[in-house]
Amino acid sequence: MQKFLQKVITNNLTRASMAHFGQSLKPPVRVAITGAAGQIGYSLIFRVASGEMLGPNQPVILHLIDLPFAMTALNGVAMEIQDCAFPLVQGIVATDNQTVGFKDVNYALLVGAKPRGPGMERGDLLKDNGKIFTETGKYINDHASRDIKVVVVGNPCNTNCLILANQIKDIPKENFTAMTRLDHNRAQHQLADKLGVHSSDIRKIAIFGNHSPTMVPYIDQMTAKNHKATVDQQWVTQTFIPTVQQRGAEIIKARKLSSAASAGNAAMNHITTWVNGTPEGDYTSMAIPSDGSYGVPKGLIFSFPVTVKNGKYSIVQGLPISPFYQGLLDKTIKELVDERNAVDHLLK
Ligand SMILES: NC(=O)C1=CN([C@@H]2O[C@H](COP(=O)(O)OP(=O)(O)OC[C@H]3O[C@@H](n4cnc5c(N)ncnc54)[C@H](O)[C@@H]3O)[C@@H](O)[C@H]2O)C=CC1
Ligand SMILES: O=C([O-])CC(=O)C(=O)O
């Protein structure tokens, strides 16, 4: 462990930021990002630091966590944050020690994990990355704030979240979620492109299920510019759904690296929506512990359409599920049950 990074780098910007924002600042919150020296970390941390995730009146203390071998690089990231002189950054904790890293943390974006390479599926990562989330769960349970909100990004994110939440004794299970917002955003873009509108005009779509090629992009209630919108079924089955399901692999093929900027963006969107809520008349997608809705076995971390209000999400009930969609739902449920069975030994 490298000692020099175990320290809290207290920030000397506190007075400057108070002067910048006047008295409207809230008390600082602690935001942990694991895998902070990695690709997603680099695209995410600076945006969180700028206030884009939690708003311009919310100071943050950044807890940047990575493995011992990555500490030199992480120190470089910490120096760069200092050099941005962000008014909202009230402190930086850069560490490979998870006790220090998760101490009193209010938000955790769990990115740290091995990414897949070309030709791999996300499920192939389960063995290596599953262990990481068992350990992290213990540290969060023992050291984080009891109101912590967690989003798991590291793949396979649904089952990693299940493993993590299993370690938690006295924090509500609903505070542990996984990210399908990237898939949601991808679907929004594909549909907007097809309909010739802006992606922000597309509403009432959702991702059901696993963040994997079995995910189910659901669009039967879609509106564009507030009007019910339909697209032809052949395009849906042959182009739209496979494109969204395979977008991650396509990006790996093109970049030779997995999507980082769009994943970081989606992780921020996930937390922002969880805190600020969904717009009236719309929903978003979050992978959350199933309560049995839509016939999904209880406890699986499953992506549902959700509305969010006052920091609490609720599953959108009663969406009509056609036989076509039911067939897709059955497949993604089966895959998540199989993943759960494969990590049974980590769930004891
Ligand atoms: N849910 C989603 O939509 C998406 C998920 N991902 C996943 O995010 C993860 C990270 O991707 P990248 O940033 O591109 O990978 P990367 O390899 O660039 O960075 C990962 C970082 O995590 C660190 N790390 C590994 N184990 C750790 C641990 N136990 N504690 C703290 N840090 C640890 C590594 O040292 C490295 O710095 C991968 O699992 C990838 O598959 C990527 C894109 C989208
Ligand atoms: O595909 C990957 O491995 C990275 C990821 O989860 C995505 O881009 O959706």
Alpha-carbon Rg of the chain, whole angstroms? 20
In the block, tokens 């779509």 appear at 205
Q: Has residue 40 got a pLDDT over 50?
A: yes
Distance (angstroms) between ligand 1 centre and the Cα of 38 equals 6
Nearest-atom number in ligand 1 for the CA of 35 is: 22
Q: Has residue 16 got a pLDDT over 90?
A: no
Distance (angstroms) between ligand 1 centre and the Cα of 181 equals 16
In the block, tokens 């994110």 appear at 157
Nearest-atom number in ligand 2 for the CA of 251 is: 8
Q: Is 210 in the pocket of ligand 1 (CB under 6 A)?
A: no
pLDDT on residue 214: 98
Q: What is the pLDDT of residues 41-61, one digit of tens each?
A: 999 999 999 999 999 999 999
Cα–Cα dist 90/339, whole Å: 40
How much is the average pLDDT of 33-44?
98
% of the chain beyond a pLDDT of 90 = 88
**Judging by beta carbons within 10 Å of its beta carbon (0-12, 13-18, 19+), is residue 196 exposed, middle or buried?**
exposed
How much is the average pLDDT of 219-235?
97
Ramachandran bin of 206, using left for φ above 0, alpha for ψ from -120 to 50, beta for the remaining angles: beta
Cα–Cα dist 266/180, whole Å: 8
How much is the average pLDDT of 223-249?
97
Q: Where are the domains of the chain?
A: 3-178, 181-344
Distance (angstroms) between ligand 1 centre and the Cα of 68 equals 15
pLDDT on residue 95: 98
pLDDT on residue 348: 78
Q: Residues near ligand 2 with C-beta < 6 Å?
A: 115-116, 122, 155, 182, 248-249, 251-252, 258-259, 263
Nearest-atom number in ligand 1 for the CA of 37 is: 37
Q: What is the pLDDT of residues 177-207, one digit of tens each?
A: 999 999 999 999 999 999 999 999 999 999 9
Ramachandran bin of 225, using left for φ above 0, alpha for ψ from -120 to 50, beta for the remaining angles: left
Cα–Cα dist 304/216, whole Å: 10
State the Cα torsion 328-331-333-334 to the nearest 10°: 170
Q: Please name the CATH architecture into which domain 3-178 falls.
A: 3-Layer(aba) Sandwich (3.40)
8's CB contacts (< 8 A; 6+ apart) are: 91, 92, 93
Q: Is 207 in the pocket of ligand 1 (CB under 6 A)?
A: no
In this prediction, residue 124 has a pLDDT band, given cuts at 50, 70 and 90, of confident
Average pLDDT in the chain: 93
CATH class of 181-344: alpha beta
Q: Ligand 1: which residue has its CA nearest to atom 29?
A: 132
Q: For CA atoms 43, 46, 51, 54, give the dihedral sign.
A: positive
pLDDT on residue 319: 98
**Helix then strand then coil, % of the chain, to nearest 5:** 45, 20, 35
- Note the ipTM here: 0.99
Whether 211 is a known active-site residue: answer: yes
pLDDT on residue 116: 84
Nearest-atom number in ligand 1 for the CA of 182 is: 3
Q: What is the pLDDT of residues 64-90, one digit of tens each?
A: 999 999 999 999 999 999 999 999 999
Per annotation, catalytic residue among 63, 184, 211, 270: 211
Distance (angstroms) between ligand 2 centre and the Cα of 88 equals 31
In this prediction, residue 117 has a pLDDT band, given cuts at 50, 70 and 90, of confident
Q: Has residue 20 got a pLDDT over 70?
A: no
pLDDT on residue 21: 56
304's CB contacts (< 8 A; 6+ apart) are: 206, 208, 285, 286, 287, 288, 290, 293, 294, 296, 315, 316
Q: Ligand 2: which residue has its CA nearest to atom 6?
A: 248
Distance (angstroms) between ligand 2 centre and the Cα of 150 equals 19
Q: Has residue 105 got a pLDDT over 60?
A: yes
Q: Has residue 131 got a pLDDT over 70?
A: yes
Bridge partner residues of 33 (DSSP): 64, 109
pLDDT on residue 22: 56
pLDDT on residue 2: 40
Q: For CA atoms 111, 116, 117, 118, give the dihedral sign.
A: negative
Cα–Cα dist 193/260, whole Å: 22
Cα–Cα dist 74/113, whole Å: 15
In this prediction, residue 23 has a pLDDT band, given cuts at 50, 70 and 90, of low
Crossing angle of helices 39-50/261-276, nearest 10°? 40
